[in-house]
Each structure stands twice: as structure tokens, then as C-alpha cells.
Structure 1
């Protein structure tokens, strides 16, 4: 079994066809079929079910694909890192939306001054998407909010921030004496981030601890659109302080305090447990840790 076998297997999985994989790899169809046969013979398992001239991954095939993708990507990583050891190449970073807005621009700017020959490739999306990209080795590491769900990921806390429940100053909840009681949130119109975001996950887990649940009237990946809707009196939302502090200072929003509800959370650095982090990658993570104290000062009420 060789790296060539793994690459052929991954190509067949990606293309869903021996013929298309052969075309992609500039190999003959018999050569691709032979490689798959040799893999199945070597491990004594069936990797594909062949039904009606179509290929379907078996359970063993799905498991093998995880290893094949990881091993292939590690080899590519070794080639890139050894040839361009910490002076050239690219650093692929994934970030959740809040961190991407509040911390990443400054971190990347400072990092680029120290490592001008390292190209930064950023992906900013919700925490669930970033976690999947780290697992698939589409990014070298991620910075996100909330819980980490896969045991193959290493997660390190690097900062803490505060999420706030906010409404327009004229909203009925804003007019009530603070702190509010959890039951005051019942039957309110909530405007929330999409499922899969760290913000949404934390908000729902805090409510669940108080035997509450809500069905949002608005869902959006765009925090700015949520803020504007709340300012117009369309409902209540929960967002990180970093994303609402200017509107709070301008009096467009009011923070709501609910008795017994704590919306603090840890911000995390995540990477695959088998991931080799280069010196330049570690330097970026260390820079994020150094900036964390300033991030906290700027991002918490």
C-alpha cells in the first residue's frame, strides 16, 4: 500500500467514478481499478459496494477515506513546509464571525509585518463550519467560540468574552425594572444568528438550563442586519459585546440583564490532534494570545 494508492482512492471517492478519477489523475481506467482492488486485498475489506454500475462507499470505506485524506494532506503539508520552511508559503486560518470581526484584522496586520513572505488565507464562517474545515485539513487551525464537538480536535482557551441580550430602548423589556426574570423572555420575538454559530449555541444552552426554548422569528448569518432589525423594535437578540458596543454607546440599543443567566464564554484555538503546526503557525497563535488581553478590554462591558 503506497501514497499512490491513497490518492487514487480519494480521487475515486471525490469523483464517484473510476472513469472520472482516471481522467483526473491522467491514468488508465484499469490502473485505477487495480489500485482499488489492491487496497481491498491488502486490508481484507470491501471499500465500495458496486450496485447498478455505481460505486457506494461501505462503512469500512468511509473510515478508510478519513485516514486517506488525512495522510495525503499531511504528505502535501510536509512537502510545502520543508521546501518553504517558515519563510514562504501560506498559512490557512479559519475564524468564527465574531473573532473575524474583532480580532483577526489586527492580528493579521501585525503578523504580516513580522512574516511578510507568508501568505495569509482566511476563511470566516460560523463555528460549526470552521470546525469541519479544520477536520478536513482545509485550514491549518481555527479560532472560534463555543463548544468543540469532535474528539479529534485539540482545543485551547485563549480568551473570554461576554455575550449580551439587547433590545431597542423603547422595547417593553427595556422599560421593565432590571434584572429581568427568565420567564420574562417567554413569548418574546427573538432575532438570532443561524444554527451552527457559537453565539446561537451558547444562547440556547443558557435558556435550556432554565427550561426555556425559543423559536426565532428571524435567523441570519449577518449580525449587522440583526442589530438593525432590533434597533427598529422588531425583537430581542443575543450578540457578543464586541458587535453591539457602538450601538450601546450611541443609545440605539439597551442591554438587558436576566437574573441567573450568564452569557460569558471561552474563545478557543482548535487544530487536529495529528496536525503539525509550523513555527510560523505557532507564532500567529502566540500573537493571538498576546492580543487577547486587549481584545478583552475592548470587547467586554
Structure 2
């Protein structure tokens, strides 16, 4: 049976006349009759009593209507679920810890206000984890900072970031070469982190003495309260602490740590309306906070 046949059936239930239903649906009366015959053939029973020119529901017809009408209306509603003005769906995204903790939350909050029927499941992980999840089809798309070269992954630049060297030591006021700070206790993100990878690549010929590693940005910021501790971190992650004078940006000679933010997804991903709307929204609003 088809939705068209069911529609004609329910119209006949209401108006009892093939000619009236044909006029309402802008089809021929023979089309109405054929649809009803097809439906009754599929069910193996007659649904109406033919009384004069009227069609009146019989015992089978009444129970068929009762059992099916709710499901029919839900199917009709489902046809309109994904139109432009009524976007509904669920997105699974994984973001790097910097982007997920300090860049996207406010933007996602505003997006949810505009599109309340879109559910967003967000996790924060390191870049290596994100890339593997996309390749394995475990997430829709992700946000990372480090450069990747994988033929199966598409990356789109959505913004920029800068890594900085920070400490709570107020005495570090001049400009330094990186190895002049090796007397400090260096704390870095874990292996697989985009922040760590970029920093170590930038000082590739220098053996950095790493005192401690962690996958938590919050833990790094807590440890930075000790003036002996130093780290390389996203400017976004410590923007408020620098503004309050709790941490200080240290000037480093010959070290450029500017990087890009990327939206990444599998090359075979279908770009749904939700995907396009969300990615456009992110790109547009990211510019306003940079």
C-alpha cells in the first residue's frame, strides 16, 4: 500500500463519495476507485459498504482506520521533518580540547537557540583520536588545529589560533631564546595533541626537557600557578588568565607558532542541510570572536 492510497482511503472515510474526493484531491474519479481497489486487494478484504452512491465503512474498514490513522499522520509529518525551515537531526562531533573548550561552546549555544530541534553530541579529544574516529566512521566530523595529510579526509580552514609560551613568573619580562628557559619545569600536552605536535615541530632541533605531561588543559592551568612551571598553550585557553594578570605571555625569539583551525570530515560524507548550515554558522561566528 502507498501513502497516496491511504490518503484516498481516509478522504473517503470523511466524505463517503469518490466524486467529492476526486475533486478535493484534483484527480479523476477513476483514479480514486483504482486506488481503493488496490488497497482492498492488498488487504484481501473490502473496506466499505457501497450504499447507493455513498461508501460507508464496514467492520473491516472501521478497524483498519483505527489501527492505521495515527501511524499515517506520523509518516506524513516525517515527510516534512527535514525541510529548510524545520531542520531536525542529530550530529556527532569531536573537537580538539582547545577548540571544544574555549572556542565552540558559545557558538554552539547560539546555534542551538536558532535550531532547537538539532541535537549535538560533542566530545573533546586530541587530534589523533579525532582523525581515527572519522576514518572509522564513528563521528560525523571534527575540529582540529594540526596539519594532516590523509587522502580520505577533507579539511576546511575555519579560523586561526596562536600558541604562546606562558608562566606565572612576573620576572620573565625580556625576550628569550627557547633554550634560555630550560631551567623551568616544562609541562606539555599528551602525545597526539595538536598543540604539542606543533610546538615540538617548531623547535625540532632542540631537546626540550619535559617535566610533566597531561591531557587536561585545566590541570596545566592549575599547575601554572607555580612560577617555576612553564608551558606552550593556545592563546584562547589562557586569554582570561592573562587579562586578569594571573599568567604572562613570554616573548620568544625566532619562534612562530601561528596555526589554523580546521573542520575535518571523511571524503565520502554526504553534506546534509544540517552539516552545511552548521559549518557555515561556525565559520561566520568564529570570525566575530577572533
TM over 0.5: yes
Q: Distance in 2 between matches of 1:242 and 1:105?
A: 13
What residue number does 2:82 align with? 85
What residue number does 2:199 align with? 203
Residue 117 of structure 1, CA deviation: 1.6
**Structure (1 or 2) with the larger CA radius of gyration:** 2
**CA RMSD after TM alignment:** 2.0
Per-residue CA deviation, residues 190-249 of structure 1 (Å, 9 max, x unaligned), is 1011111111011101111xx213242111111121122122124210111111122212
Please tell me whether the aligned partners of residues 153 and 265 of structure 2 are also in contact (alpha carbons under 8 angstroms): yes
SS at match of 1:214: coil
Please tell me whether the aligned partners of residues 98 and 237 of structure 2 are also in contact (alpha carbons under 8 angstroms): yes
Please tell me whether the aligned partners of residues 165 and 233 of structure 2 are also in contact (alpha carbons under 8 angstroms): yes
Q: Gapped runs of 5+ residues in structure 2?
A: 1-77
Find out whether 1:94 has 2:94 as its counterpart: yes
SS at match of 2:253: coil
Q: Distance in 1 between matches of 2:236 and 2:182?
A: 26
TM-score by length of 2: 0.67
Residue 98 of structure 1, CA deviation: 0.8
What residue number does 1:29 align with? none
Find out whether 1:256 has 2:250 as its counterpart: yes
TM-score by length of 1: 0.65
Per-residue CA deviation, residues 92-123 of structure 1 (Å, 9 max, x unaligned), is 11111111112221222222223222211112
SS at match of 1:280: helix
Q: Distance in 2 between matches of 1:250 and 1:152?
A: 43
2:238 is aligned, of 225, 229, 244, to 244
After TM superposition, the structure 1 stretch with the greater mean CA deviation from structure 2, 81-90 or 255-264, is 81-90
Residue 89 of structure 1, CA deviation: 2.7
Q: Gapped runs of 5+ residues in structure 1?
A: 1-80, 297-301
Q: Which aligned runs of 4 or more in structure 1 are off by greater than 4 angstroms? A: 81-84
